[in-house]
Structure 1
Amino acid sequence: MNWDWSVIVEYYPRLLDGVWLTLELVFFSGLLGLMLAVPLALMRASHNRWLRMLPFSYIFFFRGTPLLVQIFLIYYGASQFEWIRESSLWPILREPYWCAIIAFTLNTAAYSAELIRGAIQSIPKGELEAADAFGMSRALKIRRIVLPRAFGTVLPAYGNELILMLKSSSLASTITLLDITGAARAVIARTYTPLEIFAAAGVLYLIIAAIMIGAFRLLELRLNRHQHYKMPAEVTAVDPRLKD
């Protein structure tokens, strides 16, 4: 098998143009999804049964249906309703870019909400009771205790979720967006070299994933630096049990 390296060299700049669109899709959907996931997770962790029903239904739908179906429902389905076409939302919903952002945001919010809910429910009760003993209000307790502890716990899993979103962003090419995969498909349609171009696109995904993994690792070490703290030798000399 002979590889046509000249095709990769010639069309790699076009694939690089798709990198920026891929990064935009992942960044904006990840940010908006996290903003939506936090209140959903707090509602899911509530002791009020009725308050838990709405986020449960939302999460059940978006985790139980394929992302591709969700993209098509938003991009093709919205145009089927006349009241949407005549509303102020139509300039947004007719654009494939914003439809992809909406679909990715709603999808990742469902998965992230469940991750955060699990992290919230894993917080030791003693910490929450201590906050109550200090007279913290519910809002202050959530801001000072619940969310910081939850984010420190959920960060590795949330990093994995964003990596999955990076790979899922290739589905944006199905609605004409020229992300990495979309650009690769456009080049292949012209050069008929699928192996070379898809291999080059795969390398780009690997590089982005490696950078994201490294960034989340550094952020995890920063947020959880208290877990890596070592007692000074002077203190442990007094009581060796403090080494643990």
Structure 2
Amino acid sequence: MTMAFPLRTALSVNLNKVALVRNTRHLGIPSVTRAATLCLQAGARGITVHPRPDERHIRRHDVFELAELMQAWPDREYNIEGNPFHNLMEIAREIKSRGLPLHQLTFVPDSEGQFTSDHGWAFPHDTERLVPLVAEARALGARVSLFMDADAAQMAGAKAVGADRVELYTEPYAAAWQTQQRTEQLERFRAAAQAARDAGLGVNAGHDLNRDNLSEFLRAVPGVSEVSIGHALIADALELGYAATVADYNRCIAIAFAA
């Protein structure tokens, strides 16, 4: 079954770097919930956080405060990323028990001290241990997305464990954007996205996408339902402000869909 294309890719803003700056002092600024509000007001379709066990950026209280905030935005989505073998599932269970919004859980195979996410799940290696956690997450009412490398051969495995979507790890494309490998990388991602859709999976994407490379990626890889962007977007917001930055990322998305 091939998945239908979305009418337009949704922009989800990852707020980890806002929390990282806040955590360098004890003043509560910049506010993560204020950042979320400004991004949503500017047209972001969702908010993403990745609460790691060491709480070096997003902290436990942030996750629940943002979930409470999202109740006022019923047409937007809350995406929580993390390793389901660390703290992610415990957080998901508590959100559900409080009756708070739980739209999407993105399973990421990072280690506790990992600098940043840098690889996806592998099948059949990860199949047996993921199946019960994917089933539990779906029973909690969450859509499950698996963080995956752009390997077309792996997409059927993601579907077999019960996932709803995959999030393609886009750093290899971003790293190649100004090199001769750019076209080759885009073809890898196009093929992986097509294989995911053929398997009945939705497609998300994220990692090092920015205002320079986003439009081209979405033109070359049609059918992406959501992009989750944090580091570059928050860096741009330091210069432009949240509202202008979100508007410009949405402009980049619109350009891709107008082509």
TM-score by length of 1: 0.25
TM-score by length of 2: 0.24
Instruction: Return the structure number with greater strand share.
Output: 2
Q: Which has the larger radius of gyration?
A: 1
Instruction: Return the structure number with greater helix share.
Output: 1
Q: Which has the higher contact order (CA 8 A, sep 6+)?
A: 1
